[in-house]
Structure 1
Amino acid sequence: MEIAILVPCYNEEQTIGSVIDDFKRELPNAKIYVFDNNSSDRTSEVARAHGAIVRFEPRQGKGNVVRSMFRDIEADYYVMVDGDDTYPAEFVHDILAPVQKGEANLVIGDRLSNGTYFNENKRQFHGFGNNLVKGLINKLYKSNITDIMTGYRGFDRLFVKSMPVTSPGFEIETEMSIHALDNRFLIKEVKIDYRDRPEGSESKLNTISDGAKVLRMIFTLFKDYKPMLFFSVWAALFLVLGLAVGTPVIVEYVQSSFITKVPSAILAVGFVLLSMLSLACGLILDTVAGTHRKNYELQLNRISDRSERG
């Protein structure tokens, strides 16, 4: 069974050689693919010198890199890991075991449960952001995933070849998690250690802007995957506002048979109409989403059949 190690990279000259060497030691028969995302340093040269297969992705952003990886690389099992040497290679066997045994389609390397992430990572706001995203997704899908945004993951071929990557940047980890939850893929978490970047290696993450992108991605996927719930929330909000504005108007009419608060009456009617429109949109899009799920299941069957024949 062929194993592919996928390493997205952007200016990781200092660490990529160590990452490749570590994974070659743990999995000598695996193919290691380094995707250089417009690096301005010697990332690609170092990767090639250490024996990796180097590919280039001109569209900037980790999501664009993952899209090309999933589309172009053929293997039976996949491991994705960052090129910054923060994820120890010795845990790759724990990452691969569940997908090789058929126990999971997606394996998540949980950095948080062992406590090493909070000990090593000095960016306190990142921990807050991780917890916020994790709480939102777990509440939305009634799940209990511990580490939503880890960059150390294992996949089987079915997940990789059926994953529609739409995120351009660092939102990709969140998109993967939501896609797996919504389509009821088998998910398993494996506890791993985390180490901070070596001195001189700089993170490409921007806590505020990347956090905003992740939250926007959750909002968008919530609308796409659960339209009935999404639009029902808006319908309820508009209805409450309509009742709040319109109740004094109704009380006045009951008491005097006249309406003097005409602007309030118009505003209340507008809110109620928006509530009805939101509910109607939710019903229509929920039917569309249901049809999409059925078609997606048929697509999964076709991919599975091709994999078995191959």
Structure 2
Amino acid sequence: MEYTFDDLSVVMGTYNEEAAIGTVLDDIDRVTDGRAEVVCVDGSDDRTPEIAREHGARVIEQEPRGYGYAVRKALTAASRPVIVTTDCDDTYPMDALPRFLDLVNEGYDVVSGDRLYRGADAMPAFNRLGNHAFAVIASLLMGERVHDTTTGMRAYREEVISNIRWTENTGLSAELLIRPLMRGYDVYEQPIGYAERAGDTKLDPFAGGYAILKSVVKVPLEERLR
């Protein structure tokens, strides 16, 4: 079966992103001809959910509990067989969606957007260095080379999401790559651009980095002990 945009859900966790959410949703609508389902799990206290609904997204409101809880809820709320995660801060290129869908149609189970391949110059230097380090550590622990463990933009066949029990919060982005790889799913890292975010970041780089590092170490060890 060949998937089309009618088979695509684009999902995201949203938290006070009124500066960018409209642009992101406009881009999704433009690229997919308005055919993709869009799901936002939102904990905002600004106009983010209102703007998302105005743009046709399905908004699920919940108390803010962190990145992983929101994205996991969004993933499980999707109703279509191909699911793409993205962030709502306008850093990821929605123009990559057709390429992601093509790669799923070629047989890949997960298509992971590699921001670092092209340098990710818009990313703060500290974050960029940390993301390179996470990839090196994950590669060593898995015994398989990966280049960007913490990207927020990936495509998944729905069965990958439903067949794995996801456990991480801040480190969910790394877990969403590591567990499928170590369970034998076909994963392809697709280079993508990365833009400067619109609005202020909500993640403390030190606390967030430590949480991600814990996931990068813990998840491969858990998978080896399965």
For this structure pair, what is the TM-score category when the shorter chain's length is used for normalisation?
A: over 0.9
Once the two structures are superposed, the pairs formed by residues 37-52 of structure 1 within 5 Å of their partners are: 38-52=43-57
SS in 1 for 2:118: coil
Native 8 Å contact 1:63 1:165 kept in 2: no
Native 8 Å contact 2:39 2:77 kept in 1: no
Q: Larger relative CO (CA 8 A, sep 6+): 1 or 2?
A: 2
Native 8 Å contact 1:17 1:46 kept in 2: yes
Mapped partners of 2:63, 2:88: distance in 1 = 17
Native 8 Å contact 1:113 1:191 kept in 2: yes
Structure 1 or 2: more strand by fraction:
2
Native 8 Å contact 1:105 1:187 kept in 2: yes
Return the letter of the residue paired with 2:102: A
Q: Which residue of 1 aligns with 2:19?
A: 14
Structure 1 or 2: more helix by fraction:
1
Mapped partners of 2:106, 2:30: distance in 1 = 22
Once the two structures are superposed, the pairs formed by residues 1-310 of structure 1 within 5 Å of their partners are: 1=3, 2-27=7-32, 28-36=34-42, 38-102=43-107, 104-115=108-119, 117=120, 119-121=121-123, 123-168=124-169, 170-198=170-198, 201-227=199-225, 289=226
SS in 2 for 1:78: strand
SS in 2 for 1:48: helix
Consecutive aligned runs of 4 or more in structure 1 exceeding 6 Å deviation: none
Mapped partners of 1:145, 1:51: distance in 2 = 35
Residue 59 of structure 1 and its aligned partner are, at CA, apart by: 4.8
Q: Which residue of 2 aligns with 1:273?
A: none
Native 8 Å contact 1:35 1:55 kept in 2: yes
Deviations 1:156-213 (A, max 9, x none): 1111211311112x20111111101210110001111111013xx0011211101111
Deviations 1:213-245 (A, max 9, x none): 112223322432224xxxxxxxxxxxxxxxxxx
Deviations 1:246-281 (A, max 9, x none): xxxxxxxxxxxxxxxxxxxxxxxxxxxxxxxxxxxx
Return the letter of the residue paired with 1:159: V
Query: What is the number of residues matched between the two proteins?
Result: 220
Mapped partners of 2:83, 2:105: distance in 1 = 10
Alignment CA distance shift 1:144-1:32 (3 Å): same
Mapped partners of 2:205, 2:69: distance in 1 = 20
Native 8 Å contact 1:79 1:96 kept in 2: no
Native 8 Å contact 2:114 2:191 kept in 1: yes
SS in 2 for 1:32: strand
Q: Percent identity?
A: 29
Native 8 Å contact 2:40 2:74 kept in 1: no
**Structure 1 gaps, min length 5:** 228-288, 290-310
SS in 1 for 2:116: coil
Relative to structure 2, which stretch is displaced further, 138-147 or 23-32?
138-147
Native 8 Å contact 2:113 2:153 kept in 1: yes
Deviations 1:106-157 (A, max 9, x none): 1111111112x1x212x22111211111011111122121111111110111
SS in 1 for 2:150: coil
**Structure 2 gaps, min length 5:** none
What is the RMSD of the two structures over their aligned residues, measured on CA atoms? Answer: 1.4
Mapped partners of 1:35, 1:71: distance in 2 = 11
Native 8 Å contact 1:66 1:165 kept in 2: no
SS in 2 for 1:92: helix
Q: Rg: which structure is higher?
A: 1
Mapped partners of 1:134, 1:149: distance in 2 = 8
Residue 72 of structure 1 and its aligned partner are, at CA, apart by: 2.4
Return the letter of the residue paired with 1:65: A
